[in-house]
Every structure is written in structure tokens, then in C-alpha cells.
């Protein structure tokens, strides 16, 4: 079984002999930029450099995937938001938006031809031609997070409390933009699409608001994506894991703040609820429970930890039953390649390979 088959088999609910080790989140690091001559910000807008950096940790460390892009500002920029593309160790950031209120949000006619969307699509094509057996993971921005980029996160949080109906409309418009982007991506055939929804974290919005506003749109996205799909939400998502489990994603990406053993228990409950509710099983029909992806700390272990720290965290995650071993969130740009190698070597040692 090759690397692509191994990952897709896990996400289909099948048992495999070796737990995959990938990154469903941002993986661009400066050391890899130096070795591939694919630096930020150029790698954000040049398809060849994006493809080279996106596959760099496979080539240099043995990470079992390619993954791009390297930020969550692609969709917002294409909708007219001004973005600072940053520097070699600074990711892109939203500067300002043309939308003064939630009611103003509209998808431009040239949306899919704007900004870096064509770059991402061409980079996928490059990697598809280069690799037959390496899974290609593409990250997109979730509708709640995209709404925050369009009207400002502070405004989003405020309006959730003062005018939730207005936010409902705004998130619905953002969902349409997400779907248009997914449709364009799907035409070139990535293997996995990861929906990153950091603004839906319980640290920013109340779990009840997650259930009423974020969850229905994330369900719509899960049903719309033809590829294997993963949902990543930052922070301590323990309080919403049960709801995340019932959405229908093939994988749930979690940070180190989440207890894997308890999360798997909650996902099992979510699977039972899916059956009881009479909903269709996720694609493949094998296992109605999302798989747990994570949760090796990117802020500490993979950034500044020792090889022993990484080995310990990897063993703990595998002992707890993680389905796909991965960084807990986007890699810090100054993380070392050696630490990524150590994560993979620890997985190999665990399975005696």
C-alpha cells in the first residue's frame, strides 16, 4: 500500500498496518524554503514555488503528503480584501476589507480568476503530474473564518451577540464563496481537502453559536466536497467534539489541548447519533465516525522540543489511538526539519519499521 492509499484508507474507515504521518495544516518552514529556493512571499503566488514548498517536507523529511497553500487568506483576497503577503518567516495577514458590514458581502464575478486562486490550482496540477502515490492535501478557509476576514473578527464576534441574523446571512454568502472555490479545486483532483475553521473555536465563539451558525454550514461543505475531507478547528475543542463528530467529515484535526482518548469516545457517540438520525453515512459507507488527526504540539514540541520530547508526544498520541499522526496546527515557520524527521522516526520506531 503506497502513501496515498494508506491515508485514504484510514479516512475511509479501514484499518491499516501503519498510522500515516502527514500535515493537514500549514507546513512551510524557512529551512525548507532555503533548500528548495521557494521562499515566502514568492511561494504564495508562484505555482512552481508553491508546489516545491508544499512537497518539501516529503522530499526533505519523509512527511507523507504534500500540502498547500500556506495561509487562510486566499479566498478573502480573491473577494477584494487587501492582504499583506508577509515575509519568509511571516505568514500573510488581512489588512483591510472593502466590506463595511455583513450585508455588503458579495462574491465578485471574477472571483475564481482573482488573487492566488489560479496559483493554487496550477500548483495542484504540478504536483499531480509529479507524484502518483503521494497524497495532495489542499487547505481552504471555513465560512465563519472567511466571514471574519471580510468584516473583521471583532465585528463578527460582536454581531453574533447583537445581530445573529445578520451574521447568518454573511456566513451563508461566505459559504457560497467556499463552495465555488472547492468546485474549482476539485476539477484538478486533490486527494484531501482540509477545511480550516479557527474562528469557530470555543475560545472565540460560544459552543451554542457553533451549533447554530457554524455547524450547519460546515455540514453543507462536508456534503459538497467529493474528495476525502478534514475539519480543523484550533484551540481546545473538547466542548464541541461531539458536534464536530456529527457533521460528517472523514477526519477531525485537533490540537494538543484536546484529549485524544476522550475525543474518540465523543466521536463514537456522534457516530451513533448519525445512525439514529437516519442520515447517510460519509463517502465510502464504511465507518460513520470521523477519524482523529493530530495532535503533536506545533507551538512547543515541534518548534522548540528535543527529539526525546517529540518521541514521547508521538508515543502518547499513538497509544491513545490517534488515526492519523500530524502536527496539531500550522507549523511555525522557524521549526526545524530535524524535528519533523524526529516525528516520523518516532512513528517508525513505534511500528518497528
Sign of CA dihedral 54, 59, 63, 64: positive
Class of domain 3-12+24-348: alpha beta
**Annotated domain spans of the chain:** 3-12+24-348
SS3 115: coil
Which helix (H) or strand (E) covers residue 345, if one does?
A: helix 337-350
d(CA 14, CA 11) in angstroms, rounded, equals 7
Q: Which residue has the cell 487587501?
A: 82
d(CA 142, CA 148) in angstroms, rounded, equals 10
d(CA 52, CA 102) in angstroms, rounded, equals 37
Q: What is the CA radius of gyration of the chain?
A: 19
d(CA 88, CA 40) in angstroms, rounded, equals 4
Q: Please give the sequence-ordered ranges of beta strands (E in DSSP) within 100-156, or none if there are none.
A: 136-141
What is the reported pTM? 0.94
Could you list the pLDDT tens digit for every one of the 353 residues in the chain? 999 999 999 999 999 999 999 999 999 999 999 999 999 999 999 999 999 999 999 999 999 999 999 999 999 999 999 999 999 999 999 999 999 888 889 999 999 999 999 999 999 999 999 999 999 999 999 999 999 999 999 999 999 989 888 899 999 999 999 999 999 999 999 999 999 999 999 999 999 999 999 999 999 999 999 999 999 999 999 999 989 888 999 999 999 999 999 988 877 765 555 444 444 444 433 335 799 999 999 999 999 999 999 999 999 999 999 999 999 999 999 999 999 999 999 999 999 98
Rounded alpha-carbon distances, angstroms, from residue 204 to 123, 283, 310, 339: 33, 31, 29, 30
Cell numbers standing for residue 134? 503521494
Q: Please give the sequence-ordered ranges of beta strands (E in DSSP) within 161-204, or none if there are none.
A: 192-196
Per-residue buried b or exposed e for 105-133, using 16+ beta carbons within 10 Å of the residue's own CB: bebeeebbebbbbebbbbbbebbbeebee
Amino acid at each position: 500500500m503506497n502513501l496515498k492509499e494508506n491515508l485514504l484508507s484510514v479516512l475511509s474507515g479501514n484499518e491499516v498496518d501503519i498510522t500515516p504521518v502527514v500535515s493537514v495544516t500549514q507546513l512551510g518552514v524557512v529551512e525548507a524554503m532555503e533548500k528548495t529556493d521557494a521562499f515566502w512571499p514568492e511561494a504564495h503566488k508562484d505555482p512552481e514555488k508553491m508546489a516545491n514548498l508544499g512537497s518539501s517536507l516529503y522530499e526533505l523529511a519523509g512527511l507523507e503528503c504534500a500540502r498547500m497553500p500556506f495561509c487562510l487568506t486566499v479566498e478573502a483576497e480573491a473577494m477584494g480584501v487587501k492582504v499583506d503577503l508577509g515575509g519568509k518567516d511571516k505568514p500573510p495577514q488581512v489588512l483591510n476589507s472593502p466590506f463595511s458590514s455583513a450585508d455588503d458581502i458579495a462574491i465578485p464575478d471574477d472571483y475564481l480568476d482573482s488573487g492566488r486562486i489560479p496559483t493554487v490550482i496550477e500548483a495542484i496540477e504540478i504536483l499531480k503530474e509529479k507524484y502518483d502515490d503521494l497524497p495532495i492535501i489542499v487547505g481552504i478557509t471555513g465560512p465563519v473564518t472567511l466571514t471574519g476576514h471580510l468584516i473583521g473578527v471583532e465585528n463578527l464576534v460582536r454581531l453574533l451577540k447583537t445581530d445573529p441574523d445578520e451574521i447568518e446571512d454573511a456566513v451563508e454568502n461566505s459559504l457560497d464563496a467556499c463552495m465555488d472555490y472547492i468546485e474549482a479545486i476539485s476539477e484538478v483532483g486533490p486527494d484531501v481537502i482540509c477545511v480550516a475553521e479557527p474562528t469557530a473555536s470555543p475560545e472565540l465563539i460560544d459552543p451554542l453559536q457553533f451549533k447554530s451558525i457554524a455547524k450547519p454550514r460546515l455540514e453543507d461543505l462536508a456534503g459538497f466536497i467529493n474528495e476525502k475531507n478534514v475539519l480543523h478547528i484550533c484551540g481546545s475543542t473538547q466542548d464541541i467534539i461531539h458536534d464536530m463528530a456529527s457533521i460528517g467529515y472523514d477526519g477531525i484535526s485537533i490540537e494538543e489541548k484536546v484529549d485524544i482518548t476522550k475525543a474518540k469516545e465523543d466521536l463514537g457517540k456522534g457516530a451513533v447519533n448519525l445512525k439514529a438520525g437516519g442520515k447517510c453515512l460519509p463517502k465510502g459507507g464504511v465507518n460513520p465516525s470521523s477519524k482523529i488527526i493530530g495532535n503533536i504540539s506545533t507551538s512547543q514540541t515541534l518548534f522548540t522540543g528535543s527529539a526525546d520530547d517529540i518521541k514521547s508526544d508521538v508515543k502518547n498520541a499513538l497509544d491513545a489511538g490517534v488515526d492519523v499522526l500530524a502536527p496539531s496546527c500550522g507549523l511555525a515557520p522557524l521549526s526545524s526539519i530535524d524535528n519533523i524527521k524526529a516525528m516520523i522516526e518516532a512513528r517508525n520506531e513505534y511500528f518497528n519499521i
